[in-house]
Structure 1
């Protein structure tokens, strides 16, 4: 059986000011647009200006968030980099295709192609931090971060003395949201953040972000929490049964949970899955949402883990995130469950 991993530091860039010291969702930044770009911190605090000019947004966000995580963990070096990204460096991908079409395949600038690969952010992190060890990027749609998390569990089981920089990053493109709109993915009516979850309109609010963690198998006084288990499924016919079986395999009952975090995003076509769980399996638990404040993208579940660690630290669930009125005296063990457009289901079990 794979041992749990301990999280010692975290950093988050999102559409909320999550990179600011002391911020914890008691007040929210509101938006009335779709898509919503991430807030930009002062990147020059961690990235030299000359390097910054050459970086796309994924690389900037990933490097800044990883530095925040390392700063909180009190470390200056890592042994491995494991990331997840659903769409990679999307703007450079779009730019390369546009240049290819405009120039008909000749006289192309190679930079957008080189920087368009999904593992570019992880490569930039390794170069910046001088890490010559294991480096892996997972590209599994809305389960990309969960795949990176599972690999971190396996890697640290095999290398128990090492430290891993684990994260998820996705950026918005300029063209791609137009395609999402044509496909019917985006919300028009009531397109706002925080997204009203009682509004029965279709569509999601597209966003972006980067969330990174320092993980190891060693517990320390700086440990924020530990990840006990993670599981993903592309298709799930019966989510309550899927979650109940996951908990049973890991020796945990719903009575042993102190709260559940659900990926409600305001899309009436799929949020019914969460309402069913809230009325049945999790009826007696505090229910917490996160996508209605952070938007939807492939690796946003990493932000849910960031939030859970904050809840452990503060021993408090912000009112802005609560879905019901159930309270808990202690917040020691929380389950994260999410899916996207009815697919890519995942569960993550986290403990203080």
Structure 2
């Protein structure tokens, strides 16, 4: 069994002001639109203005989140960078294809092509830090961050003396969102963030964007924010309760050992039943927390859920804006995170207070 990895620093850019010191979701930015762009921090804090001008949104968010995580961990750099992304640097990908069509392959600006590759965010982080070590990007739809986290566990098992930056990033495009709309993925019935999950759900999701990165190692240290004990993915779980039950059994746990569970409700009534089944059966009575209704839906939102879980360990209380069933825990020592997207790509992360 792979050993747990300890998180020493975290950084997050999302549609909420998660980059602010001490932010704990008591107050939320509200939106009445679909899609919802990230709430931008002052990127010049970590990125020189001349470099900033040439960077796309994914690279900006990733570098800011990574630098924030390093600062919290008290480090200047990391030995490796491992990232997950579902759609990569989407806006530059769209720009390149549109220009290719418009110019019929002639007189193309190479910058959108260079910055359109999925690994640009991880590469930009490594360049900004001068990190010449292991650099890997995982593209696995809504399991992209979980894949990166699994690789971080394996890498640190082989290099126990090192520290890695691991995270997830996704940005919104323009054309791709139009395709999602045609496919029926987006919500049209009064889209709003925070999504009123207690109201009658309707088809569609509210798309967001963001980046979350973490400094991880095998060393517990005195200032570790928490530890990731286990990560598991499953492409098509017909019964979420069975999937989670087997996961807990493999780690010698039962439902009573979980202090709280983060569930990825996003208000799409076609797929939220997976969470409702877990909420009312296997994990009934356990404090249940939402996150997509305030962060939006995107492939690597699971990284932001991990960021939230670590903040909950620190504060030891659940804001009312996130609490799904009104049950507050006596103590938060072990949190389970469960998500899926459009009925596929189920993911679980078990995270514990160190």
Report the TM range for the smaller structure's normalisation: over 0.9
Distance 1:197 1:284 in 2: 18
Distance 2:83 2:21 in 1: 24
SS in 1 for 2:23: coil
Could you tell me which residue of structure 2 aligns to residue 222 of structure 1? 223
Structure 1's consecutive aligned runs of 4 or more residues displaced over 2 angstroms after TM superposition are none
In the TM superposition, what are the counterparts of 1:237-252 in structure 2 within 5 Å? 237-252=238-253
Q: How many corresponding residue pairs?
A: 352
SS in 1 for 2:83: strand
Could you tell me which residue of structure 2 aligns to residue 58 of structure 1? 58
In the TM superposition, what are the counterparts of 1:333-348 in structure 2 within 5 Å? 333-348=334-349
Could you tell me which residue of structure 2 aligns to residue 163 of structure 1? 163
Could you tell me which residue of structure 2 aligns to residue 14 of structure 1? 14
SS in 2 for 1:166: strand
Per-residue deviation, 1:190 = 2.4
Q: TM-score, normalised by structure 2?
A: 0.99
Contact 2:5 2:229 in 1 (8 A): yes
Per-residue deviation, 1:249 = 0.3
Could you tell me which residue of structure 1 aligns to residue 148 of structure 2? 148
Distance 2:172 2:165 in 1: 23
Contact 2:240 2:275 in 1 (8 A): no
Could you tell me which residue of structure 2 aligns to residue 259 of structure 1? 260
Per-residue deviation, 1:327 = 2.2
Q: Does 1:91 align with 2:130?
A: no
SS in 2 for 1:185: coil
**What do the CA deviations read for 1:277-330 (whole angstroms, capped 9, x no partner)?**
111011120000000000000000001000000000000111100000222111
**What do the CA deviations read for 1:91-125 (whole angstroms, capped 9, x no partner)?**
00000000000011111111100000000010011
Per-residue deviation, 1:222 = 1.3
Gaps of 5+ in 1: none
Q: TM-score, normalised by structure 1?
A: 0.99
Distance 2:301 2:272 in 1: 16
Per-residue deviation, 1:22 = 1.6
Could you tell me which residue of structure 2 aligns to residue 180 of structure 1? 180
Gaps of 5+ in 2: none
Q: Does 1:41 align with 2:41?
A: yes
Per-residue deviation, 1:29 = 0.5
SS in 2 for 1:260: strand
In the TM superposition, what are the counterparts of 1:59-208 in structure 2 within 5 Å? 59-198=59-198, 199-208=200-209
SS in 1 for 2:155: helix
Distance 2:339 2:23 in 1: 24
SS in 2 for 1:268: coil
Contact 2:240 2:277 in 1 (8 A): no
In the TM superposition, what are the counterparts of 1:223-302 in structure 2 within 5 Å? 223-302=224-303
Distance 2:56 2:240 in 1: 38
Distance 2:102 2:86 in 1: 27
Distance 2:159 2:232 in 1: 21
Distance 1:345 1:59 in 2: 27
RMSD: 0.6
Could you tell me which residue of structure 1 aligns to residue 330 of structure 2? 329
Distance 2:127 2:36 in 1: 30
SS in 2 for 1:141: coil
